[in-house]
Amino acid sequence: MKVKKIRIKSREDYSNELRTVARALDRGVTPKKAVTGEYFESLDAVRVVLTDKRLELWRAIRDKRPDSISSLAKMVHRGFKAVYRDLLLLESLGLITFKKTKGKRGDLQAPVSLVDELQLAVA
């Protein structure tokens, strides 16, 4: 099972970690702990990005595996343009990707989930 961790960490803590990694790299040492993943400053910030509608899209992609963006939009009863805009954001977070497929009228982009589960971690 692929799990994506969404972390909540203060800006100060995140900046301190980045400085520690940068200092190690400057010394030519491989850092013990790399700063990777998705970080947010607060639960409110997470909710601004991962709205109920976006989570609904991700779940529909994960569970129902639509063959195109249009079919996904119909599944969730939303317009194509709004769904596409939300999918681009989910792609930038590393939750989905697009797979090109052949359709009756040309190429289609099928959204594909990259993860099975989201975990929220507070540091």
List the domain range (segments joined by +) for residue 33.
Answer: 3-122
Tens of pLDDT, residue by residue over 99-119, are 998 777 778 899 999 999 999
User: Which of 9-23, 40-54, 86-100, 109-123 comes out lowest in average pLDDT?
Assistant: 9-23
Within 13 Å of residue 110, how many CA atoms lie on the same side as its CB? 13
* Alpha carbon 51 to its chain's center: 12
CATH of the domain at 99: 1.10.10.10
- Please give the tally of structural domains in the chain: 1
What pLDDT, on a 0 to 100 scale, did the predictor assign at position 37?
64
